[in-house]
Chains A and B, each alone.
Chain A
Amino acid sequence: MDPFHGEIKTSVPEIGRDLPRADGPGKVTGAEKYAADYYGENLVWAGVRRAGIPHGRIRSVETAEAAALPGVLAVLTGRDVPGTNRQGIVHKDQPVLCRAKVRHCGDAVALVLAEDRKTLRKALSLIRVLFDPLPGVFEIEEALKPGAPLVHEEWKDGNVLLKAVVRAGEGASALARCPVIIEETFQVPPQAHAFLETENGVAWQEEDGTVVLVVSTQAPFRDKWEISHALGLPMEKIRVIGPFLGGGFGGKDGATVQCLLALSALHAGGRRVKMWWDREESFIAGYKRHGVHMHCRLGARADGTLHALHSRLYYDTGAYAHLGGEVMALGMEHAGGPYRIPHTLIEGWCLYTNNPVAGAMRGFGVVQVSFAMERMMDLLAAKLKADPLELRKQNALRQGDRNCAGVTLTNSTGIRECLERVGRHPLWLNRDRWNREAGLFKKRGVGLAAVWNAMGYGRGLPDSALAKIEITPEGRFLLYSGVSDMGQGNATAFVQIAGHMLCQEARDLELIQPDTARTLPSGSAAASRTTYTYGNALIRACEELRRRIIGRAALMLLVDTLEDLDLLPGRVRHRASNREIPLATLAATMTEHERTCISQFLMPVVRDVPDTGKEFTIGFPHLLFSYAAHLACVEVDELTGAVTVKAYLAATEAGRVLNPQAFEQQVQGAVAQGIGYGTCEEVGLHEGRILTPDFATYILPGSLDIPDISSVAVEVTEPSGPYGMKGVGEVGTNGPLPAIANALADGCGVSMNRSPLTAEKVLEAMKLRKNATGGST
């Protein structure tokens, strides 16, 4: 017998204890079916002809040759799109198939349905698209210039999707009273989500006209609305099924293949149609993290107390709005870091360009500003000859403080505790010795970052979930999840909560993944919200179901009070008499209505909304934040500039921890993505064309690039959270870039303001410094 047999026991899940992933067995055996694993008999393949140029008017799309190819079912262009032909979460500015003009290389101009992939590829290559090329906007600075080419001629504000201001206290004028000012500019490039399962789905039309999609999506319920709007299909004739995703990270929040697939289904005569973007298409047409330019002035008193901040932030949102304005809103809300800064002026410009479309990505606008703020904190510490950790602790937000957006923090605020935990850790205490032990031609440094990340949609958009749980007539439990699990593990959290509430073993709880025909709208898998919002709804649904089961048991056992009845795994017991009734017996007597409980939860919002950020219709401000203090131990090769992260520590406050293993998964994964963002990942662009369309040129960190990451949970109960938790999915992404940059300043004396911190950039910075200091390092 192998030593592991029977080790993974199923038992009643406990809150606060490790629970192995509910989706683990299906995934390790290859049995779990992702959207990409759906095929079907008599399958049709669909594919897209992309613009290939960043900006141009479409003169004609010649499809006759492709349509005549044997094995081609249909070739569709913009003229074949019923409905508005417009997609977009907030602004409907993105065509399904372009009719008049293209605004980025990944724009779709034609859609082909074919019997097999070979024919599909051939047909796509036979389509001739004639363009009148237009000059494009590719740089942030260019977008704002008078006379710049317009990405959307009809838009009222030129290339400015959104201009907004967040102001607190006296704004920027308070800088005049600051004896110490740090002024810096920072630049960060776009990042790719690079989920391993690229955008895909399968769709078909049923006999009653309903279009069914199985799609890799973070927002199945919103997809319905997007498809309905773009294609003019009635909502009730669209069904979206969202299996587990092979990664999402924000890149599958919004329409990717959905409208194209639904359109395909309308032309496939009831056959199943499959669309699966290859990696290159995913790079070209998929969403990206925003590249941002930041100009910041941070002012402090001589004792290090932060006093004022003026930030100007320029977000390159690419060709379409997607969630650009909302990403910027969150960035602006976090621009001052987790610190008390009484006077702030944070200005933001979200700009259309002819670059790939930027949208949601883990750390949604916050990753970028965290780099700027945390570098400035270290520069301030250096200028004041202060300890960078003490400076952060001195200014760290406490419950009751106002944050940089002027919002009073009424809920859990654990950044100071996170910093204290880092301060007590050996990696911090022994840093000088560790630095000195660098080998020949190596330099070592240790850097810090204090970060935060809001949870939920913020004001203006109800952050709601509807949980549904059912006891089957056989006495098992069905848990209907309406919010996708893209890998973050919310599905397991739901099993844990329901198992705990109902005192049932995990194996007796069956999870149903999002399906707009079976589960209930619960919002998108986004904003670190899934376990918080759905979990809160689920607790209430389980409470009601528990009451009903106990109540039914009382009837059946002829007991006239409920207090003596215990719900136990598979049964209810009457304590006084030790009589038991199996759930199967009990549930068989209940009607369907009695067996199902539904409950809604709405995330609380900021009541005392500051009089600023009025330009944001949704997504500002937020009530709840998670916090983290990070530490990176970095080694640099003096000869090559290569940066290696040798050790990493993340102390995270995200309320109470429901499942320590799942918590660590999120922290480690977020840090790894942050290390990639900090050291090697960059979507290379030249005039709107992607120079890095594959994993040979877009470098993801591998198993040799990420060190072991120590995760410390700083538990502070958040009273509004399910069992006191807050979302932990995103906050960890925000720390690595600034922590590594600060470590480089510590170890090599270089101040890096542009990311990623590649060997070339670091080597160049070291050379410049060497020249400036006359050869001494």
Chain B
Amino acid sequence: MIVSFTLNGRKTAIDAAPDRRVVDLLREDFGLTGVKEGCGTGECGACTILVDGEPRLGCLILAPQLEGRDITTIEGLTGETGLHPLQEAFIACGAVQCGFCSPGMILTGAALLKQKDTPTRGEIRKALSGNLCRCTGYQKIVDAVEKAATGRETGGEEK
């Protein structure tokens, strides 16, 4: 079946099997390997993409569900003028180690920052709670989201 949607700002249409997982479609047919797969069962968040601006899991949605939607992957978050502020903050704050969770984390964080200008650390932790990271202990990831929101250095957990 033909599925039409907007992918990283460009209208596109592709012939896809109705049971094709979006994570496979994006990685294999579009070469967008920034969409990672960590579990295949919706537990880890590595395959997070933005569907109409909302974080969604590419391993749990199927190709037909993209019809008419606006899809953003990590590759689409990087603008023509450079990195998204959250990508910059991830690098500056040391929020990246192995990096396999980073695309999903960044997209989830970017969606939060669209909703809220200055989330608290608690709100950031809550928003990121569906994205697992095995390397960082999350602290520097929270720092990065906070920094991207406020543009200032972080001062640790609020009491």
Tell me which residues from 1 to 49 in chain A have a Cβ below 8 Å from any Cβ of chain B. Answer: 2-5, 7-8, 18, 20-21, 23-34, 36-37, 39
Q: Are B102 and A27 in contact (CB under 8 A)?
A: yes
**B142/A703 in contact, CB under 8 A:** yes
Within 8 A of A (CB), among B5-38: 27-28, 32-38
- A25–B102 Cα distance when bound, in Å, is 11
Q: Does A673 contact B (CB under 8 A)?
A: yes
Given A28-B99, A30-B34, A669–B137 Cβ distance below 8 Å? yes
Q: A196-B38, A672-B137 are in contact. Are A246 and B98 (CB under 8 A)?
A: yes
Does A194 make an interface contact (CB < 8 A)?
Answer: yes
The segment from A172-180, A459-467, A481-489 found at the interface with B is A481-489
Please determine whether B99 and A29 come into contact, CB atoms closer than 8 angstroms: no
Is B55 in contact with chain A by the CB < 8 A criterion?
no
Contact mask B70-104 → A, CB, 8 Å, 1/0? Answer: 00011100100011010111111010111111110
B91 touches A21 (CB 8 A): yes
Distance A39 CA – B134 CA, assembled complex (angstroms)? 25
Contact B73 A709 (CB under 8 A): no
| Nearest chain B CB to A277 CB, angstrom units | 11
Q: Residue among B33, B35, B103 with the most chain A CB within 10 A? A: B33
Residue in B40, B83, B128, B140 whose beta carbon sits within 8 Å of that of A665 in the complex: B140
Q: Which of B110-146 contact A (CB under 8 A)?
A: 124-126, 128-142
The total of interchain contacts (Cβ-Cβ below 8 angstroms) comes to 183
- Contact at B129–A702, with CB atoms within 8 Å? yes
Interface check B68, CB cutoff 8 A: no
Of all chain B residues, the one with the shortest Cβ separation from A732 is B137
A196 touches B98 (CB 8 A): yes
Specify the chain B residue showing the minimal Cβ separation from A276: B37
Contact B98 A487 (CB under 8 A): yes
Q: How far is the CA of A696 from the CA of B88 in the complex (A)?
A: 32
User: Does chain B have a CB within 8 A of A746?
Assistant: no
Q: Could you say which of B41, B106, B126, B136 contacts A695, with CB atoms under 8 Å apart?
A: B41
A703 to B100, CA, bound (A): 16
Q: B39 contacts the other chain (Cβ, under 8 Å)?
A: yes
A18 to B38 alpha-carbon distance, docked (Å): 30
A706 contacts B99, CB within 8 Å?
no
Q: Could you tell me the distance between the alpha carbons of A668 and B140 in the complex, rounded to whole angstroms?
A: 9
When chains A and B are docked, how far (Å) is the Cα of A392 from the Cα of B134?
31
- Partner of B36 from the list A4, A36, A708 (CB cut-off 8 Å) is A36
Q: B142 — which chain A residues lie within 8 A by C-beta?
A: 703, 708
- List the A side residues contacting B99 at CB < 8 Å: 23, 26-28, 32, 244, 246, 487
Is the C-beta of A662 less than 8 angstroms from some C-beta in chain B?
yes
Partner of B137, one of A196, A197, A248, A706: A706
A706 to chain B, nearest CB (A): 5
With an 8 A cutoff between CB atoms, is B46 at the interface? Answer: yes
Number of interface residues of B (CB under 8 A): 60
Q: Are A703 and B125 in touch, CB under 8 angstroms? A: yes
Given known pairs A20-B94, A703-B128, the reply for A696 and B43 (CB within 8 Å) is: yes
The answer to whether A703 and B134 have CB atoms under 8 Å apart is: no
Which of B78, B92, B140 meets A7, CB within 8 Å? B92
A694 in contact (CB, < 8 A): yes
Give which listed residue, A2, A197, A248, contacts B38 with CB less than 8 A: A197
Residue of B with least CB distance to A19: B94
CB A499 to nearest CB in B, in angstroms, measures 17
Check A671 for interface membership: any CB of B closer than 8 A.
yes
> With a CB–CB cut-off of 8 A, which chain A residues contact B133?
196, 703
Given known contacts A487-B97, A703-B142, is B134 in contact with A247 (CB within 8 Å)? yes
Known contacts A28-B83, A704-B126, A704-B129; A20/B91 CB under 8 A: yes
In angstroms, how far is the closest chain B Cβ from the Cβ of A303? Answer: 39
Binary contact track A166-207/B, C-beta < 8 Å → 1, others 0: 000000000000000000000000000111111000000000
A196–B136 alpha-carbon span in the complex (Å): 12
Chain A residues within an 8 Å CB radius of B157: 707-708
The reply to whether B87 and A28 form a contact with Cβ atoms under 8 Å apart is yes
Does A395 belong to the interface (CB within 8 Å)?
no
CB of B135, distance to nearest CB on chain A (Å): 5
In angstroms, Cα B135 to Cα A253, docked, is: 17
A4, A194, A487, A662: most-surrounded residue (chain B CB, <10 A) = A4
Tell whether A668 pairs with B102 under 8 Å between CB atoms, given A2-B85, A7-B92, A694-B43: no
* Nearest B-chain residue to A485, judged by Cβ: B98
Question: Would you call B102 and A28 a contact (CB within 8 A)?
Answer: yes
Q: Are A706 and B139 in contact (CB under 8 A)?
A: yes
User: B44 on the interface (CB 8 Å rule)?
Assistant: yes
Residues of chain B lying within 8 A (CB to CB) of residue A709: 137, 139
Among A8, A27, A37, A279, chain B packs the most CB atoms within 10 A around the CB of A27
Cβ contact within 8 Å between A23 and B96: yes
B96 partner residues in chain A, CB cutoff 8 A: 21, 23-24, 27-28
**In the bound complex, do residue B82 and residue A5 qualify as a contact, i.e. CB atoms below 8 Å apart?**
yes
Measured CB to CB, the closest approach of chain B to A201, in angstroms, equals 15
In the bound complex, do residue A21 and residue B94 qualify as a contact, i.e. CB atoms below 8 Å apart?
Answer: yes
Contact B98 A4 (CB under 8 A): no
Closest chain-B Cβ to A529's Cβ sits at a distance in Å of: 18
The answer to whether B92 and A8 touch across the interface, beta carbons within 8 angstroms, is yes
With A4-B89, A279-B39 known as contacts, the answer to whether A702 contacts B132 (CB < 8 A) is yes
Residues of B contacting A39 in the complex (Cβ-Cβ under 8 angstroms): 28
Digitize A449-489: 1 where CB-to-B-CB distance is under 8 Å, 0 elsewhere: 00000000000000000000000000000000000001111
Contact string against A for B residues 44-68, beta-carbon threshold 8 Å, 1 for contact and 0 otherwise? 1010000000000000000000000
Instruction: Encode A655-691 as 1/0 by CB contact (under 8 A) with B.
Output: 0000001101100110111000000000000000000
> Which partner residue on chain B sits nearest A3 by CB separation?
B151
| Cβ A247 vs Cβ B137 within 8 A | no
Q: For A673, what are the chain B residues with a Cβ–Cβ distance below 8 Å? A: 134
Q: Which residues of B contact A489 (CB under 8 A)?
A: 97
The reply to whether the CB of A371 lies closer than 8 angstroms to some CB of chain B is: no
Query: For the complex, what is the distance from the CA of A669 to the CA of B140, rounded to whole Å?
Result: 10
* B41 closest partner in A (C-beta): A694
Contact status B34-A31, CB under 8 Å: yes
Residues in B whose Cβ lies below 8 Å from that of A26 = 99
In the complex, A615 has a CB within 8 A of chain B: no
A3 to B97, CA, bound (A): 24
Indicate if the CB atoms of A278 and B40 lie closer than 8 Å: yes
A668 to chain B, nearest CB (A): 4
Q: Which residue of B lies closest to A662 (CB)?
A: B94
With A28-B83, A33-B33 known to touch, is A4 a contact of B88 (CB < 8 Å)? Answer: yes
Q: Say yes or no: B136 contacts A665, CB within 8 Å.
A: yes
Residues of the B chain whose Cβ atoms lie less than 8 Å from the Cβ of A244: 98-99
Residues in chain B near residue A34, CB distance under 8 A: 100
Residue contact B78 to A29, C-beta cutoff 8 Å = yes
Contact B88 A8 (CB under 8 A): yes
* A672→B136 contact, CB < 8 A: yes
A231 at interface by CB-CB < 8 Å: no
Query: Which residues of the partner chain B approach A7 to less than 8 Å between Cβ atoms?
Result: 88, 92
Among B38, B78, B101, B106, residue most surrounded by chain A Cβ atoms (within 10 Å) = B38
B85 and A197 contact, CB distance less than 8 A: no
Residues from chain A with Cβ under 8 Å of B135 in the complex: 247, 487, 665, 669
Kindly provide the distance from the CB of B142 to the nearest chain A CB, expressed in whole angstroms: 7
Q: Is A197 touching B94 in the complex (CB atoms < 8 A)?
A: no
In Å, the complex CA distance between A2 and B83 comes to: 10
> For B40, B94, B126, which residue has the most chain A Cβ atoms within 10 angstroms?
B94
For A245, the chain B residues whose CB sits under 8 A away are 98
- Interface pair B43/A708, CB less than 8 Å apart: no
Contacts of A36 on B, CB cut-off 8 Å? 33, 36-37
Closest Cβ of chain A: how far from B148's Cβ, in Å? 8
Cα distance, A673 to B125, chains bound together (Å): 17
14 interchain pairs (CB within 8 A)? Answer: A2-B85, A20-B91, A24-B90, A27-B96, A28-B96, A28-B103, A194-B134, A197-B36, A246-B100, A662-B94, A665-B140, A672-B137, A695-B41, A708-B157
Besides A3-B85, A27-B102, A246-B98, 4 other A-B contacts (C-beta < 8 A): A249-B134, A664-B140, A668-B137, A703-B141
Shortest 10 CB-CB contacts between residues of A and residues of B:
A30-B34, A487-B98, A27-B99, A672-B137, A246-B100, A695-B43, A4-B88, A30-B74, A37-B33, A24-B91
